Amino acid sequence: MFFTKHHRFNLVYLFMATFILVSFISRTVLLSYSFSHVTFTVLDLLKVYGIGLFYDFVAVSYYVIPFVIYLILVPNKIFNAKWHRYLTIVIFFGFVYAVVFNGFSEWFFWEEFGKRFNFIAVDYLVYTTEVINNILESYPVPLLLAVVLLLTGALFAFYIKKTHAMHTTFKDEKGFPSRLKEGGILLILPLLFFNLLDQQNLTSMSNNKFNAELSKNGLYSLFSAFRNNTLDYNDFYRTNENEEVLSTLRNLQSRQDARFINNNLEDITRQYSAQGEEKHYNVMLIMIESMSASYMGTYGNTKDLTPAMDSYIKKSLFFDNFYATGTRTVRGMEAVTLSIPPTPGRSIVKRPDNHDLSSVGFVFKEKGYDNKFIYGGHGYFDNMNEFFSHNGFNIVDRNNFAQEEIKFANVWGVCDEDLFDKALKEADISFEQNKPFFSFVMTTSNHRPYTFPKENNMPQPQLTGRDSGINYTDYAIKRFLEDAAKKPWFDNTLFIFVADHNGGSSGEVDVPLYRYLIPAFVYAPKILEPKVVSKLASQIDLMPTVMALMNWNYQGKFYGNNILADDFKEQVFVGNYQKLGFYRDNRLTVLSPDESVKSLEVEALKLKSVTYKEIENNEDDINDAITYYQSASYLYKNDLTRHVKEQ
């Protein structure tokens, strides 16, 4: 054994070996689970395990810092005491338990997202109440904790029997200088790693994103996410001169119905103009949790999970080539309300400096609308209440539901039926006050743990898991529209249905384009004729299109445009915290935080897969992608996207 007699750092070395062993097993299990997505050449596997081993060592060097510092400082008199031996063994047991527990945690995170711990995991640590209760409602936690305890105990028993570490550690006569020398080496290593390493540099050696994720270490990725949860575009991505970018933006954004109000390059305020009488239809925007296009019969799904929405789509203005900008709810909210491409790092909804932005909420407010953000959960989650309340909306969340208004609730909020009933009541209040209303309604039932009241008249009450969540949300929408049709304000209302994001975010490539395809349709049988619009468009274009339907003249600092206009340019923006994609003319441009750029031709785009061919860089696409993303980041960072009253 590498353990030496009477050596106080024996347990540190034993723990490091345990950490690397558990990480190896975890990596192998995740690789087996993702078998169909992983590249299995000898070189690729060497990268997965070689780079993975290196980052396992880096991660454990961070993990043992508190223990090492303690062992350096604790004097021999205390260290050699019998009571201290037992205390140290208990602490060691806790460390090992945490490592085994982390292995299980990574499994469930990988199952949900197809990635190692990242920004999402950081968010989960912040919103502990919702996340812990979600876990408790989704998984047999007591059983899992018992299994972790059993495995840790087995490891511990093996150590006691097979190693000298347990009975030779607790006698040390070395002085402080000697302890500092050895412990100092264990402390210098993580310091060097912290200042010199970037995980992305090594894991990006694999072209297959599953392979790249497998070569990471989950805890290291978590530390990295804490450290880098904001990304300054100019520091990490390829750039052009700001003046050039802002000038090019004007050329790209010039539209017949949306002209810049002045020649100041840093003022992107446009005057949106329309012909005809201005309408003040009520607007109920229903943002549906995790509703992938691939779940719907309209797009070819054969499970009949969404019979109601499939039926209403046939009676609606339907955008069948419509894309989300990101992979989280807050990204969808940001795109729809601010009409802005996704900036790298965390969503603007979650940033502290997000008040009084150029939001559609203020446009509606200036038109005399009663704006409400209606959410069945607690809106402090993901900073939603803070964002909406300072960007033109009043808040109606879980705190505003009376007990008799709640038929069923889980950790994320009331069920969709209760949410829609509340939305109808709030619409009635606005109508009685003789005010047009704009209600932004966010659903939650199509989210793990997929619990809700099982209705006898649901199409398929026997379904489980995500399928049951989809089917229930569809049923709740049917019931909602049937009840709304009885209201006196129904004939004068636009019902907008759009997903916040797709139901999954993982993929074999940097930006799995098929993951961003979502449904979007406007149901208003007394106002709009049914029509299918197949133009390539995204969430940032939704509200400019809705306001154009109402013939509105207004000002805004929006990037989105009216999809129905003759001069609408078909393009979409898709991002995943670090990678920024720009898709048009069957080409995808990907900007990465190491200043690299890829030009990809989309060879085959299906509902559940995409095939790219890397092509020679298309400079027009690259420059336009840089223009949009760099300008959005620059203008937001420099406080130039604030709301201004119409001049």
Is 643 a member of any domain? no
Clarify whether residues 144 and 266 are in a common domain. no
Q: Please, what's the b/e burial string for 596-630 (b: 16 or more CB within 10 A of its CB; e: otherwise)?
A: ebbbbebeeeeeeebebeeeeebeebbbbbbbbbb
642 in any annotated domain: no
Q: Looking at the predicted structure, is the pLDDT value of residue 382 above 80?
A: yes
Dump pLDDT digits (tens) for 122-142.
666 655 565 667 666 777 888
Q: Range with the lowest mean pLDDT among 162-166, 490-494, 594-598?
A: 162-166
Q: Are residues 406 and 459 in the same domain?
A: yes
Residue 502 pLDDT greater than 90, yes or no: no
Q: Is residue 4 part of a domain?
A: no
Q: Which of 169-183, 265-279, 356-370, 426-440 has the lowest mean pLDDT?
A: 169-183
Domain limits for position 145: 10-227
- Residue written as token pair 């709030």: 426
Given 227, 253, 272, which residue is the final one in a domain?
227
Identity at 344, one-letter amino acid code: P
CATH number at residue 446: 3.40.720.10
Same domain, 68 and 170: yes
Q: What is the mean pLDDT of residues 393-406?
A: 97
Average pLDDT over residues 89-94: 86
User: Of 117-131, 201-215, 425-439, which range is least confident?
Assistant: 117-131
- 134, 448 in Cβ contact below 8 A? yes
Lowest mean pLDDT among 32-36, 118-122, 388-392, 562-566: 118-122
What pLDDT shows up at residue 645?
A: 65
Question: For residue 326, how many C-alpha atoms fall within 13 Å in the half-sphere facing its CB?
Answer: 24
Indicate the average pLDDT of the chain.
Answer: 89
pTM for this one?
Answer: 0.77
How many domains is the chain built from?
2
What's the mean pLDDT in 3-30? 83
Residues 6+ apart with CB under 8 A from 183: 9, 68, 69, 71, 72
Q: Is the pLDDT score of 266 beyond 50? A: yes
Same domain (yes/no): 280, 216? no
Q: Same structural domain for residues 216 and 302?
A: no
Domain shared by 199 and 292, yes or no: no
For residue 452, pLDDT over 50 is answered with: yes
Residue 204 has pLDDT above 80, yes or no: no
Q: How far apart are CA 645 and CA 647, in angstroms?
A: 6
pLDDT score recorded for residue 231: 67
Residue 169 is given by DSSP the state: S
Domain boundary among 227, 253, 271: 227
Q: How confident is the model at residue 3 (pLDDT cuts 50, 70, 90)?
A: very low
What angle do helix axes 42-63 and 10-33 make, rounded to 10 degrees? 140
Same domain, 357 and 461: yes
**Are 206 and 340 found together in one domain?**
no
At residue 1 the predicted structure's pLDDT band, cuts being 50, 70 and 90, is very low
How many other CB atoms sit within 10 Å of the CB of residue 330?
22
Span 606-624, average pLDDT: 92
Domain match, 214 and 323 both: no
The answer on 282 and 136 residing in a single domain is no
pLDDT (average), residues 568-574? 97
- Residue 647's pLDDT band, with cuts at 50, 70 and 90, is very low
